[in-house]
Structure formats: structure tokens, C-alpha cells
Amino acid sequence: MFLYIFGLVVFYYVYRWFRELKRVPNKSEKYVYITGCDTGFGNLLAKHLDTLGFCVIAGCYTEKGEDELNKACSSRLCTVQLDVTDNESIKKATDAIKALVGDRGLWAVVNNAGVSIPSAPNDWLFIEDFKHMINVNLLGVIAVTLSVLPLIKKAKGRVVNIASVFGRVSPFGGPYCISKYGVEAFNDSLRMNMAPFGVKVLCIEPGFFKTSVTDINLIQSNIKKLWDRLPQDVRDDYGSDYMDRVKVMMKQMFVKMLDGDLMKVVSCMEHAISAVHPRSRYSAGWDAKFFWLPLSYMPSCIADVLLLKDVIKPKVSIL
């Protein structure tokens, strides 16, 4: 019996592997709009798609990001300055894209832009801390998608949303996981809405990767800033040595979990854009596949025990 099940599983994965090999034709006629291209995944994806022959429209937050990409890529790539929290900036970028793509429509939008701070226990934060990250990580994704959705429908193209494995499980406090859970929900609802129009909506769920979003110095500096503004009674709840324990955990656990091979994520993004038969979801990174994703399916009572086993504890809580 077990051999039959094992055989069926092997057959499924072999079949899926062959099915997913086929790529879309006429790449040089397909425009791909990517947000957050200054650094990290977005920057690498823009360069990678350019080498594959796609017409890339790279949304950059800074002029420096635009200049560096233009120097590194072919004349097929063009840049637009983009702040995903600014409706006027989004509209200006959309107008430029409409002029570029014409009647062909837009083949894909990749919602990559995101931030990771402030991240801290929830009782350290104010509502404004939540608003900023949600504006970037969730409302920015929705606003950019809606701005170009008519062009995507015209091309029967793709919407690729970069969520996170922390859109499935919340091992720490603050707005990051909340914003990524929201991206997952938006992705699922949009996928159902767009299916009748031939538009595919895909989700990438990376684990821990070494990017500016996971810069240990930036994260530690942000935590220290939040700690310094806390009332004394809250600091007493966590213990006077809490920040020292945070530093130890960051060095001993967090840094070791970071994967430096960003192409694992970029390859998933490229497959979502260029495969004839893409997957609905991609788990990028070994930690995402074999730890965080299985953890998200466990009952909360078990998952909480596993998460709390080795984390820094104040008197009560988790970083």
C-alpha cells in the first residue's frame, strides 16, 4: 500500500516538473513591471529578466537606484520613480506604463517593495508604527495592482505578489506578519476574481534571506530605539537584561538562519512570470519549505510550544 502511495507521489512530482518546464514565447514583446528595484530581490529580478529578453519596467524609490539599473542593463529596461504609499507617484508610473505598452497590455506586475521595521513585541508599539508598514507592505501592493489591472487583463498576464512565510505563521510581534497575512488574503481573493479573465495570480513566500530587509544592524538599531522610548514599567516587565539577550539571540540564531543565495527567490519569481504553467504558491528557501510551512499547518498549541522553546523570554513574551 505504502509503495503505491510513494509511487503516486513520485509520479506527481515528475509530471509537475515536466509540465513546468515550458516557457511563454515572444519574451521580447512582454512588459514586466517590478516594484522595489533599488536593492535585493527586485534589483536582481530586473537584471535577470533583462538578460532573458523581457521588457522590464523597474520601479525605484530613489534616483540612485534608477541610475545604477540603467547602467547595468540593456536599453530594453526602463525605470520609473515609485513610492508605493503615494497615490500620485503610482498614477504617474501607471501613465508612463500605459504609454509604453500600448495595446499589448502589461504581461506581469511583481509587487516586491516592502519594509521590515518596526518589528517588536506588540505592547512596545503605537498604532502609527503599524500604519506605516501596512501602507507599504499591504496597501501599496493593492494600490499598484489595481492601477495596472486593466492592462494585465488586456494581456491575460500575471500578478506576482511577494508575501512571506510569515504570512502563514507569526513568530514575532509587530505589523510585519499582519501585513503579509493581508497580502496572502488579497492574493487569494484576486486569484479567484481574475481566473475568468485568464489572469494568473501567484504568490511567493520566501523564508529568511540576507537582504536589506533582514539587515541585523538595522533591526537591532530599531529595537534599541523602541526600547529607549518605552515607559519604565514596560521595561521592568521584560527585565533589565532583555536587550542584551536580544543581541545574543540575533547573533546566535537569526544570523545563522539567513540564506545568502537570493537567486532561490528570484528563480521562483522568474518562473511565476515566464512559465506557461506556473504554481499558485512558491515556498523559497529550505527554512520556508521544511520548517515554517509545516509549522503553519500545525495546531496552534503545538506551534506555540515549538516557537517558544528556544526564543528569548522576558518574564513572559517573545521578541
Instruction: Tell me which residues are annotated as active site.
Output: 176
- How distant, in Å, are the alpha carbons of 102, 111, 195 from that of 151? 9, 15, 15
Output the furthest CA–CA distance in the chain (Å, rounded).
63
Burial class, 120, CB count within 10 angstroms (exposed 0-12 / middle 13-18 / buried 19+): buried
Burial class, 125, CB count within 10 angstroms (exposed 0-12 / middle 13-18 / buried 19+): middle
When computed from its CA atoms, the radius of gyration of the chain, rounded to whole angstroms, is 21
Rounded Cα gap, residues 76 and 53, in angstroms: 8
Q: Are strands 200-206 and 281-284 parallel, antiparallel or unpaired?
A: parallel
3-state secondary structure of 54: coil
The residue among 57, 72, 45 whose CA lies nearest residue 270 is 45
